[in-house]
Structure 1
């Protein structure tokens, strides 16, 4: 790989990626099988015969225009993937031969601009096989699988792995061609699992993390930016392609998992944990990524067994089910599938119940209706047996509370007259006012107790009132540093909102609670939904994003950056190396660490400004303290027009519901 990198970097900095726009057809061409001249042939029968001859001759020749031909074919394949002309004339045989030649004949690969050819060839195969099974069958018969497997093994670089796994994924998606991969299945699945788990580290180490632009492989930079982009554009495209590489790898694994093949490999516990961190994210937002594969596994008995044995996976599914992520329903689906299986139900429920119980009042979620009732039915299906079986007191208490909410309270409230229910509404309003007053006085625990009292009296059908009470109680729990309870109450409030996940204050509170627990992705999604709600509610005004929400977004985007883990690994590795070197200079561990951080990482230490003998600094500090004290003690108005409360506010903002 090092020698390949060294030779590929011999491409001059003026080299640009060939595209159809750079093609120049020589009118005096004497090449008997020139592809560009062939495409101008007016006679259709003669043209087809000449194209077929070109596809046979191209892999055998050494013409400099091969890369231009491949670039043109790639554009045609991308824009007209269903056109049968080229697949019927031997394009797959040609592409397979070119990939094979690039892998085995390095002298040819490093000549002219041939280094681009394997990438284009694999991309052409993938484009023609993505829609039509008959094209996929032709590709298999043409022998594309062995050279694609070599690219997947890393015989070149991650750039070629990306298009190879894409093409193999299309071949695996058809029943007619999946069997053709059977002889490679173990290697194919193992390699793809490794690629999905490590590709982000590889791309960061070999490209994104290479600070010196001159040390990056030039042909990769050109492919990413079409030869005209700068460093920032390269990084953005590399991030996009890395996300695609990971998601296309998962797609290929999905094809095998859906057929319940190679489950013993895919369901390895270490890989299941890796899947939880594979997020389509903001880069590749249309892909369910890792959790999509977990759901496929949960459709099989063996997959459910293996998923149920991982506490980490179950907790990740639970966090997803209580989020505003587009894939929230996948987390719920997985937990319900595990609960419906008698072999996994009792090993899962002690974790799942504390997530699902907050969702029992969901009505519609996307195209799923009465989802809360389905959750309730599953949790209470064997309520009496569960009550006797569980030694876990918290699980028993949770199920009893669910029974009381969904069965006992409904039965009792069914006989209440309208007059009595309206009297309760007035009483609840009075208790809420008392709770609000306690809150403003800073008596947070007493306010929380009052909100709980109001919730106990509030009829189940008063959804709006209960939503506000749950949301206000969540704010109290935030201030009492109880993020788990705050998430639970915020989620219940969001399930009661219409439409679901639309109550802005609850979204913001849950975002803060997830931030306190270090769950950056969940916090980010709630914060984005909160800002969207703010924008919609102020459609007729000039929209101002609250500063504290913007700060949260910035923090969580950095934490959920696609390469954040890879960056941490590289930096921690660099720190360790520096520490080892520092020991040779007789430095202590802390001294070596500090010196390395200051000299090599560009981080400065924080030094206090001396106050003695500096009257201006002293007055400035005192003034800052007075302003800070006033801001805490006096109510203020945030950018949304929502009143701040006097108590300390996590993450710089509050939106307490004084009234609905």
Structure 2
């Protein structure tokens, strides 16, 4: 059988041939020359070269060989050329080049501080070129890659200085992108007919694999990542105490507190992570504590099954530990203090911080700015301190009588509930909770959970969330009370908090499945998940055209 030789490459500056050069010194010399030549020449092969470099950078981001040969300078010049020469950008497949160039920079700057430092100290620093893309000079696709790269550069001490030269503009742009990028992605891509979408963006999203569904899913993912990486960039400045006054604008704090973050990019601090970073500073705590919506958001998140629950709790603790803002925050938290104090992770810390000055409130005449907050602290003291003291002083006979009364009250409450006397049942459960000894944990769980159900039927969402949270926390991590999760999901739905409702419902379903391999998702839970998935969709606030 005849064998035909493959055609030999005749280009002495071919990147792929140079990569095959067995002599390492000649190979490095050739590659260095190619990186200098690419920005000055025009060739259809440049896109293939950058695509190959992108794959290498993504798989081997810590390899210093290419960066040491002038790669960063090459990528920076290509981005600048894309901005200045529109005719060249639209020729052949050059439109892909700035996207690949920005991602190559970001990948090599991701882990190694020395490589990030090299990127900003090269003859042509990469920062001005990336800033052009962050301004949206081409499209949101390149903007996303630039936000990622600048975030990696800003995360290292050695390269942060070069980024901070443009601090004012980068912070302003990042805030704007974080608040508007989802709308921009929807209006320029997801919300238009597929035939009207820019083809190069569709190609980048699918990489030639998958159809319209894959394209839409990736576009959603990239839109969320653009928001996440913008927040990450802001976090780099905030963590160094930079631009705090601007980032702490009231309007922005309200918006950032509801930004999910982390769904497809869990390394991002997300909106709550940025707020936590701000609360590590005195100015940040002062500004955040003044925005009621943010405190309420942190409280709801802390009483949910969300992955960011612990971060929200930590943020609240930072605020509560600051004597200058503590009572302002407590005024907003109100009765939620007891709910948070029951949390198995940070409950004791919450109680300790809040109650450390209880005697000042009790005996020195210090007044809270609201009666509800005053009652809440007193209630917390009663639950965490006084009740334990009282029960220690009770005789075993008295405790046993209480146990019997609690059992009887549970039955009475259930009977009233089944007969339709919901308010009466709730009152009976309240008496049972007040009498129930602290060591009757399972009974307290049932009483709180049943009272939560009564609150649901009476449309008292906040009270239902509170009772369901206490029941769930008391049940412990080893055997969490599933009914309480479901009831809290319903309560959050009643309140209009779709995210918290969704996460509790998912946790409820997950728990049922773990307990039984044959368990199916209950119909009512599936309906709740469908509803909340629709309401929590990142692009749900925009007019649907698809």
- Please say whether Structure 1 and Structure 2 have the same fold, judged by a TM-score greater than 0.5: yes
- Which of residues 67, 70, 80 is equivalent to 2:50? 70
The Cα of 1:30 is off from its aligned counterpart by 2.5
Given the superposition, is the C-alpha separation of residues 258 and 26 from structure 1 closer, same or farther in structure 2, using an over 3 Å criterion?
farther
The Cα of 1:252 is off from its aligned counterpart by 1.0
The Cα of 1:229 is off from its aligned counterpart by 2.7
- Which of residues 511, 516, 519 is equivalent to 1:538? 516
**Residues 149-181 of structure 1, C-alpha deviation per residue, up to 9 Å, x if partnerless?**
000011100000011011111110111111112
Check if 1:381 corresponds to 2:356: yes
Given the superposition, is the C-alpha separation of residues 501 and 204 from structure 1 closer, same or farther in structure 2, using an over 3 Å criterion?
farther
The Cα of 1:462 is off from its aligned counterpart by 1.8
Check if 1:248 corresponds to 2:218: no
Q: RMSD across aligned C-alpha pairs, in angstroms?
A: 1.7
Check if 1:162 corresponds to 2:144: yes
- Which of residues 473, 479, 485 is equivalent to 2:451? 473
Q: CA contact under 8 A between 2:228 and 2:262: conserved in structure 1?
A: no
**Residue in 2 aligned with 1:521?**
499
Check if 1:550 corresponds to 2:529: no
**Residues 601-646 of structure 1, C-alpha deviation per residue, up to 9 Å, x if partnerless?**
89xxxxxxxxxxxxxxxxxxxxxxxxxxxxxxxxxxxxxxxxxxxx
**Residue in 2 aligned with 1:328?**
309
Q: CA contact under 8 A between 2:229 and 2:268: conserved in structure 1?
A: no
Return the alpha-carbon distance in structure 2 between the equivalents of residues 295 and 439 of structure 1: 43
**Residue in 2 aligned with 1:108?**
88
Given the superposition, is the C-alpha separation of residues 145 and 278 from structure 1 closer, same or farther in structure 2, using an over 3 Å criterion?
same
TM-score (norm 1): 0.79
Check if 1:185 corresponds to 2:167: yes
Return the alpha-carbon distance in structure 2 between the equivalents of residues 545 and 58 of structure 1: 57
Given the superposition, is the C-alpha separation of residues 301 and 391 from structure 1 closer, same or farther in structure 2, using an over 3 Å criterion?
closer
Return the alpha-carbon distance in structure 2 between the equivalents of residues 361 and 380 of structure 1: 14
Check if 1:49 corresponds to 2:34: no
- 3-state SS of paired residue (1:233): helix
**Residues 287-330 of structure 1, C-alpha deviation per residue, up to 9 Å, x if partnerless?**
44100000000000001111011111111111111111111112
TM-score (norm 2): 0.95
Return the alpha-carbon distance in structure 2 between the equivalents of residues 195 and 213 of structure 1: 24
**Residue in 2 aligned with 1:262?**
243
Counterpart mapping for 1:254-333 below 5 A:
254-280=235-261, 282-285=263-266, 287-333=268-314
**Residue in 1 aligned with 2:17?**
37
Check if 1:98 corresponds to 2:78: yes
Return the alpha-carbon distance in structure 2 between the equivalents of residues 256 and 373 of structure 1: 32
Return the alpha-carbon distance in structure 2 between the equivalents of residues 391 and 194 of structure 1: 36
Q: CA contact under 8 A between 1:56 and 1:90: conserved in structure 2?
A: yes
**Residues 582-619 of structure 1, C-alpha deviation per residue, up to 9 Å, x if partnerless?**
xxxxxxxxxxxxxxxxxxx89xxxxxxxxxxxxxxxxx
Given the superposition, is the C-alpha separation of residues 501 and 300 from structure 1 closer, same or farther in structure 2, using an over 3 Å criterion?
farther
The Cα of 1:501 is off from its aligned counterpart by 8.8
Q: CA contact under 8 A between 1:272 and 1:307: conserved in structure 2?
A: yes
**Residue in 1 aligned with 2:197?**
216
- Which of residues 185, 190, 205 is equivalent to 1:203? 185
Return the alpha-carbon distance in structure 2 between the equivalents of residues 26 and 100 of structure 1: 37
Q: CA contact under 8 A between 2:228 and 2:261: conserved in structure 1?
A: yes
Check if 1:150 corresponds to 2:126: no
- 3-state SS of paired residue (1:461): coil
The Cα of 1:418 is off from its aligned counterpart by 4.1
Alignment gaps of 5+ in structure 1: 1-24, 366-370, 572-600, 603-660
The Cα of 1:398 is off from its aligned counterpart by 1.7
**Residue in 1 aligned with 2:393?**
415
Check if 1:460 corresponds to 2:460: no
**Residue in 1 aligned with 2:419?**
441
Aligned residue pairs, count: 537
Structure with larger Rg: 1
The Cα of 1:107 is off from its aligned counterpart by 1.2
**Residues 389-410 of structure 1, C-alpha deviation per residue, up to 9 Å, x if partnerless?**
1252222222222222222211
Q: CA contact under 8 A between 2:334 and 2:372: conserved in structure 1?
A: no
Q: CA contact under 8 A between 1:318 and 1:356: conserved in structure 2?
A: no
**Residue in 2 aligned with 1:609?**
none
- 3-state SS of paired residue (2:61): coil
Q: CA contact under 8 A between 1:295 and 1:334: conserved in structure 2?
A: yes
- 3-state SS of paired residue (1:414): helix
Return the alpha-carbon distance in structure 2 between the equivalents of residues 462 and 377 of structure 1: 23
The Cα of 1:419 is off from its aligned counterpart by 4.7
